[in-house]
Amino acid sequence: MAQEPSSEMFDHFYSLSSRGAYTDLIRYIRNHDDEDVRYGAAGVLSESVAGFSEQLTPKTRKALVDTVLNDPSDAVRANVVKTLLAIDESIADNIITRLEMAPESTPTETPYPLILTKWNQRQWPELRYLAVVGFERVASHTTTEKLRTTIQRETDLRVIHRAIEASGTVGDETFVTPIKNYLRIDDSNAYQSADSTQIKRTKQAAVEALVKIGTDGAYQALVTASRGTDAELKACAISEIGRLGADETVDLIVDELDSDADETVRQEAAEGLITAFTESGFEEGDAVRQQALDEIGEEVDDAVSDEFASIVDDSPRKPAQRNAAWLLGQLETETEETIESLLSALNDDDDYLRIIAAAGLTTLDSSLVEEKLEAFLASVDEESVAHNLASSIRSNLQDGPEKVIWGS
């Protein structure tokens, strides 16, 4: 078992760190024969992440990954992994990929993937983290059981978080019960690596994993979370539950489209409803949209409409923009933000979005629409598609056309 080196050696390592001589520290980690020296140098490097991360190069990154794969000491390996994870958690995937590429042996003379089981039993959470990443890759009955056991019994919240993420990929109903327990965690003292940020990340991972599992049990756990008093968790659940794409999610989401609700929850409810539209299958899509209109009703708060306008303006996903623009046209809410959002969409490079926005604008008949339309016409090229669409809308505003029901 590795022990701390002499105080003189430690002072030397801290001196190197304070001067930014991280390459020298890595030489000790990579080349020194004494396990204690390598362990101490790796420990000091793990305490110097803020400065070291700014100097990390592909070459030094590879050197540290090589150490993880080749050093005979698990204690040294764990300290190096600690440094790498603090810089970029995705490096763990790179390490497992390297093991998969050279599976014949490891420094402990245990072949991959059996080394994962050994690491999963070690005292260092960093090695258990690597084991979880590997278990997800192997995806056998045995590794699935180990993932479930990790979620149930692990004491380090960062390892639990990674195991929950992996469980969503596995998609097994038996994960629902252990996962949903982490929707309620609020005591950072109960786990290692459990600051407020990690607790929030773990709750979010639990929500996302339950959505991926997508069974009735997972859905009910999400419903419970969405009706709780934890505003952040509620917002996350409301946003993600729409990915299930089922009409039973619509009632739940629409209930949170209230201008009196927490602003974050209202924003996520708008996102969740649009996600429910986009995730619905072709045949059920129209039914889900019509149900949403029925549930929202005729009286729509301006704040709610403006949330959908923000999606039209800012969403990176075209299906989400199209569905939000369609909904604005159906709701007929004539706020300044709604009108400007639909007008701006006329200038988008997506043909479908332009057509949907134009159809929505023809349902709005007010002096504000006419005022904004004139300003828009003056701002765009007369030969552009946007100008032609806006001109047609101006001509047809008095005709009162029927609403267009747009499918996905």
Per-residue pLDDT, 121: 95
**Higher-confidence residue: 332 or 134?**
134
Cβ-based burial of 35 (10 A; exposed 0-12, middle 13-18, buried ≥19) = middle
pLDDT reading at 58 higher than 90: yes
DSSP state of 47: T
**Higher-confidence residue: 295 or 58?**
58
What pLDDT digit, counting tens, does each position of 95-115 carry? 999 988 876 556 666 778 889
Per-residue pLDDT, 228: 83
What percent of the chain shows pLDDT beyond 70? 91
pLDDT reading at 401 higher than 60: no
- Sequence-distant (6+) residues with CB within 8 A of 173 are 213, 215, 217, 218
Cβ-based burial of 298 (10 A; exposed 0-12, middle 13-18, buried ≥19) = exposed
**Where exactly are the structural domains of the chain?**
227-297, 298-408
What pLDDT digit, counting tens, does each position of 361-390 carry? 888 767 788 888 888 999 999 999 999 999
Nearest CA to 356 out of 299, 407, 400, 291 is that of: 407
- Sequence-distant (6+) residues with CB within 8 A of 157 are 185, 191, 192, 193, 194, 198, 199, 202
> How far is Cα 281 from Cα 89, in angstroms, rounded to an integer?
35
**Higher-confidence residue: 108 or 34?**
34
Return the number of other C-beta atoms located less than 10 Å from residue 279's C-beta: 18
Tell me if residue 156 falls in helix, strand or coil. strand
pLDDT reading at 295 higher than 50: yes
CB 159 within 8 A of CB 129: yes
> How far is Cα 370 from Cα 375, in angstroms, rounded to an integer?
9
Provide the mean pLDDT of the chain: 88
Phi and psi torsions of 403, nearest 5°: -65, 150
Quickly list DSSP for 339-390.
HHHHHHHTTSS-HHHHHHHHHHHTT--SHHHHHHHHHHHHHS-TTSHHHHHH
Nearest CA to 82 out of 50, 34, 127 is that of: 127
Per-residue pLDDT, 400: 53
Return the number of other C-beta atoms located less than 10 Å from residue 6's C-beta: 11
**Higher-confidence residue: 103 or 93?**
93
CB 95 within 8 A of CB 65: yes
Which tokens sit at 148?
């479930």
- Model's pTM, two decimal places? 0.80
Which tokens sit at 134?
């590997």
Strand-pair partners of 192: 156
Per-residue pLDDT, 405: 42
**Higher-confidence residue: 58 or 332?**
58
Per-residue pLDDT, 408: 40
Provide mean pLDDT across the span 280-297.
Answer: 76
What pLDDT digit, counting tens, does each position of 139-183 carry? 899 999 999 999 999 999 999 999 999 999 888 899 999 999 999
Cβ-based burial of 148 (10 A; exposed 0-12, middle 13-18, buried ≥19) = buried
Tell me the CATH number for domain 298-408: 1.25.10.10
